[in-house]
Chain A
Amino acid sequence: MRNIFNYVERSSPIHRLTGATKLICLLLWSFAAMTSYDTRLLAALTILSVPLFAVSRIRYSDVSFMLGFTLVFMVLNNVLVFAFAPQHGVSIYGTCHVLADLGGRWLITKEQLFYHFNLVLKYLSTIPIVLLFVCTTQPSEFAASLNRIGVKYTVAYSVALALRYIPDIQREYHEISQAQQARGIEMSKKQRLSKRLRSASAILIPLILSSMDRIEIISNAMELRGFGKHKKRSWYMARPFRAADFLSMAFCALLLAAALLLNYLNGGRFWNPFI
């Protein structure tokens, strides 16, 4: 479990917040970063996440692996944006300051660079908070907190089941895959694409059929214990809110309010320094 979602067990003020609080804060924070393209707000969010990391006592080595993935994704996305729309910044900001001409439509403009800067900031302002959430929230508490914020408990229970069975299914997939490989099934680059897909299903079919049995066993067990009889249920991992919980939720609500206010003041999602 731990190696998948990277939950790091440590004692810190952020770990002590309830799962529901952290989930609400994550949602408010990411909506703030999502709705606004205001450079000042995005930069503030990015800088703000640095002390939060310090408080949570999460070390760089805990998250470096996940950061690597993200950086590749970010660079790739920026390259793609530039390749497809080198004039996107100009059309957003309405002015055109040319810095260099690479021939054809490949103009490098101040506006385009500024847009890319914003795009990068958008990643940098949301990724740390997601990492923080993943590292400080225990998966079972996450499922309980979904119910707390108003998700129907049957759906929250589905999430709990998914988290519970991911390691089992992963192990089973691995076993089936090795058994099939021992029988000569090949999924690497050496095979033709259609063959590869065929071999994938040679692993998938036993996996799915056994999962169907699993679904039957689990739902029978739950039915026998009277799951779904009442409108509410209690959660082992649920904890009551404390002062720190209310404070952090209020703070994140302010961030979202700031984002909406800036959108209103800027007359759009972008903050335009060129006019």
Chain B
Amino acid sequence: MKKSPIVTVVAIGIGAALFFVLARFVAIPSPVPNTNISIQYGLLAFMAALFGPVAGLLIGLIGHALADFSFGWGIWWSWVIASAVFGGLMGIAARKLRLEEGEFSKKDLVGFLIAVVIAHAAAWFVIAPVLDIVIYAEPANKVFVQGLFAGVSNIVTSGIIGSLLCAAYAAAKPKKGSLKEEE
């Protein structure tokens, strides 16, 4: 379905607000002490799959930047950009999905999961550590280990939560061709 540009503008706004709320107020304790599971990337994966790469990129960028602002430690640009890259890549990789038409088959699920893994790997194993080194001159092994942890936990959470969201959304939509014109 072709979306009007206004829908994209609103989707970016609401998506960024959702991303912010999940990042800022939803704390699910993880097994590692003092770290929380970031479920906002599951939401971002879903929104990017539904509204496309531009929306994904900007939701990641705006949502993460606003969250950083409200924590008060300034904007940690390298990770903000990594979030944006994840959203954008996810939108490109998942453009074949037809969630709007109520379809989310096994094959779609596998495609979605592969997209999540690739997009997170690019964002957290490459973009975030490299930018950390370029911008903040931090030691390489530290930022790559950090990126590895962040990436793996993000893959797991957004894989689970993103696909649950996709399935729930597709189930709530009437299937294409489910209504027939009366002869």
Contact = CB atoms under 8 A, between A and B. Distances in A.
Given A67-B72, A85-B141, A155-B58, A162 B169 contact: no
A247 B13 CA distance: 33
Given A66-B72, A211-B18, A162 B146 contact: no
A228 B168 CA distance: 32
Question: Chain A interface secondary structure, helix, strand, loop or mixed?
Answer: helix
Nearest to A207: B18
Contacts, number: 191
Question: Chain B interface secondary structure, helix, strand, loop or mixed?
Answer: helix
A80 B73 contact: no
Interface residues of A, number: 72
B4 A162 contact: no
A158 B58 contact: yes
Contacts of B6: 219, 222-223, 227-228
17 contacts: A66-B71, A85-B142, A92-B137, A126-B74, A130-B73, A134-B72, A154-B9, A155-B58, A158-B62, A161-B9, A169-B14, A173-B26, A196-B29, A201-B164, A205-B165, A209-B172, A215-B10
A196 B69 contact: no
B4 to A, nearest CB: 7
Give the size category of B's interface with A: 35 or more
B160 A197 contact: yes
A109 to B, nearest CB: 14
Interface of B: 4-7, 9-14, 16-18, 20-22, 24-26, 28-31, 37, 39, 42-43, 46, 58, 62-63, 66, 69-75, 77, 135-142, 145-146, 157, 160-161, 164-165, 168-169, 172
